[in-house]
Chain A
Amino acid sequence: MDPAAVLELEGIHVRGRGQPRLEGVSLRLRAGERVALLGPSGAGKSTLLAVANGLIAPDRGSLRWQGQERARRPRARRRQQRRIGTLWQDLRLIEELSVQQNLNAGRLAHWGWPRALLNLLLPLESDACAATLRRLDLDPALLDQPVSALSGGQRQRVALGRLLRQEPMLLLADEPLASLDPRLAGELLALLLAEGRAPRALLLSLHRPDLLAGFDRVVGLRTGRVQFDLPVGAVNPGLLAALYAGEAP
């Protein structure tokens, strides 16, 4: 056990239909580490992230968050999950609610029923929410807007804002750049890399092996197995070609 590790996976195995979705995956993220997860579609990247944020219980292997074993009891596990923020590719914003209410959805795990209900009547913690927006280069005047009225780039940032409101130790992102134009993708990646500094850690999955520059490490995943786990400088075209073998470029 590594005291500085934010996330530790050892021999993780997740069954699938036919062949396993993850097979003996081990991975360690220490505070301040920003790791890119690479692999062709179907490699198991999303499954790995779902294991990392606690949605999927692995069939075998051990999982530790900040040195703590994944709790079996739902209540205890929810307490662990509070500090894990996930940025989803489809954002998963609540379209019917305002920006502020969406940001506050990141606090739900900390709030009891009274505050959660009150937030639906009179959105709470305006100052903290405004600060979050400013940090993401958004105008605090947006707080009252329904998220459905925002532009694509603004929505990305609000989703990131919800995650930051969680005050997470571990940032996970599932192909967040896939559907963005290059400029937006660059901006978002810069924000994510900045937020992923110590004491946090960042694990971000990418479909294509570009934009790797800001990361500390790269993990290659193929058919549910880790192919390589190397510092970003050690990744060479040959490794990548082997990782993506069989998939049209």
Chain B
Amino acid sequence: MSAGVARADGGRPPGSRIAVAAPLWVLLPALVLVPLALLLPGLSHGGGWSLVGQFALAALRPSLDPLVLSSALRGLGVTVGMALLGWALSLVLGLMLGALSSRLVWRQCSGRLWPAELIRRLLALPRSIHELLWGLILLQLVGLQPAVAVLAIAIPFGALVARVVSDQLDALPTGSLEALRSGGVAAPAALLTALGPPLLPQVLSYGGYRLECALRSATLLGVFGLGGLGTELRLTLQSLLFNELWTGLWLLLAAMLLLERLVGWLRRRWTMPARLSLSPQAPAPNRHAAVNGNTSGVGRGGRELVLAVALLVPVLVAVAWNLEVDPRSLLRWQPLPPLPPADWGAVAALPWPTLVANTLSLTLLAAALAVGVAPLLLLLVRPWPLGRAAVQGLWALGRLWPPPLIALLLLFVLQPGVVTGALALALHNLGVLGRLLLESAEHRGETTEQALLSAGSGPRLALLYGRFSALARPYLAYGAYRGDVILRESVVVGLVGATGLGSQLLEALSSFAVDELAALMVVYAALTLLGEDLSDRLRRRLLAG
């Protein structure tokens, strides 16, 4: 990415240098639509559209059969329960591990820094492996039980939360902490007193966002047989029972929107920062705190928070009880199957370069599509309030659908392969990114857009010049993060075949080829760690510039 504007240097005549200005950055990734438009006709078969039509029509007539309804409701209950438990556990894990991997905490408590670095690096590993893979590994180790899904969500999410918490901790101003310490207060108490309050809103905001992620993950795990509504969604889709499929989808949509509303409402009520400003490198001004006055907000929010936690604990216990989650059963490891001697020759003979290249192109294509198309769509429907509602609906459905199900649906009209997989991932992530874009567009560049409108600019140009300028950096920084997420997620569309490491992994799994599985996981993890590092650098550059 080049610098935003050409700088005047020396006697160069003004305006003589080509540079891509900020508003265009946001739209550049959408250029990927051009090659895609050329590729798609070759990949599609017209015949499947009637199936897609049936699927779409069935949305209007979901099955209301009491049997279907009750089974979907039960499935939804399990999915939400697994999400809730996994999320709660991940927060607890994340807070503890986050404190343990914070340089600040170690400096204050022991004066040594290396343990923080060590723990931080170790935590990269659980983070680099997608929750689906955790789920499938745990399934092999401890058997099919609800606790597997809960733990599969809690492990990678916990490591993610830990990273955010430690980053936040280390980025907090240390003035009040030093004041306390110089007043003779012991390290742990001083840390809690000085850093707890400023950390809390950040953690809560991020925690709320993780809860939404957990619901999506729990649905996805279900698609792969770990229980809940996802199971029914996949089976009904594969049996082409679209009316029954929509029963589950509508219920899930209702649950998701309800959860998002609740999280958003609590975020506003407890005056927490919005998500896009959540970056330790460049903390954006806290709009709400500025409006409401931080202190009063924290006081009221604080009491309600304690109340909410106090309410949450019995709810969690009840959920765990109902789902028959038994942590002790996690300790009863199952004997591994008799393993044939590993055949490393065969493993080495896998087409590794192709697998890696396919995975990377899948990721890039999906990321570019998701990042670029969201602002493009927003721009297109700007003048029409109805169009905007339609786009929002499309995004909600995209978020709702686990990518493997989107991929299966796309298979009705497209050939299996990288492009189909990428489209599925892109549609899902478009839903996530689009909502974020809308949310943050509400807070940035509003007045500039108004100024342009009042001068008679068209609504689209006013949006492009007025808002997208200010949004470009934070949005693309988030897009870089999303790219990292997509790389990790690319395993889940392995279902549609020939998508690189993901499909090879699922194939190895169904053949119980442990040697191949291990090698693939190592390569996958290495790739994700590399991707995470790259995306971090890109993000820092964007936010610093």
A121 x B464 contact (CB < 8 A): no
A228 CB within 8 Å of chain B: no
Residues of B within 8 A of A143 (CB): 8, 14-15
A53 CB within 8 Å of chain B: yes
Residues of B within 8 A of A130 (CB): 14
A100 CB within 8 Å of chain B: yes
Residues of A within 8 A of B466 (CB): 94
Could you tell me how many residues of chain B have their Cβ less than 8 Å away from some Cβ of chain A? 39
Residues of A within 8 A of B454 (CB): 50, 53-55, 81, 84, 86
Residues of A within 8 A of B459 (CB): 74
Interface size class of A (residues with CB under 8 A): 35 or more
A96 CB within 8 Å of chain B: yes
Given contacts A98-B5, A126-B14, A140-B14, contact A121 B24 (CB under 8 A): yes
Closest to A49 in B: B454
B455 x A126 contact (CB < 8 A): no
Interface string of A64-92 (1 = CB under 8 A from B): 00000000001000111111111010101
B21 CB within 8 Å of chain A: yes
Expressed in whole angstroms, the Cα–Cα distance for A111 and B456 within the complex equals 11
Closest to B457 in A: A108
Residues of B within 8 A of A111 (CB): 461
Contact of A82 among B13, B456, B469 (CB under 8 A): B456
B7 x A86 contact (CB < 8 A): no
A80 x B456 contact (CB < 8 A): yes
Contact of B455 among A108, A124, A141 (CB under 8 A): A108
Chain A nearest CB, measured from B459 CB (Å): 8
Interface residue ranges, A against B (CB under 8 Å): 50, 53-55, 74, 78-86, 88, 90, 92-98, 100-101, 105-106, 108-109, 111, 113, 116-117, 120-124, 126, 129-130, 140-146, 163, 166
Residues of B within 8 A of A86 (CB): 451, 454-455
B14 x A120 contact (CB < 8 A): no
A88 x B452 contact (CB < 8 A): no
Contact of A97 among B13, B15, B22, B453 (CB under 8 A): B22
Given contacts A81-B456, A142-B8, A143-B8, contact A100 B24 (CB under 8 A): no
Given contacts A80-B456, A106-B455, contact A94 B461 (CB under 8 A): no
Closest to A116 in B: B461
B464 x A94 contact (CB < 8 A): no
Residues of A within 8 A of B451 (CB): 86, 88, 92
Expressed in whole angstroms, the Cα–Cα distance for A145 and B456 within the complex equals 26
A144 x B456 contact (CB < 8 A): no
Beyond the given A50-B454, A109-B455, A121-B19, please list 14 additional residue pairs across the A-B interface where CB-CB is below 8 A: A82-B455, A88-B451, A96-B469, A97-B4, A97-B21, A98-B5, A113-B461, A120-B21, A120-B24, A121-B18, A121-B24, A126-B13, A129-B15, A163-B455
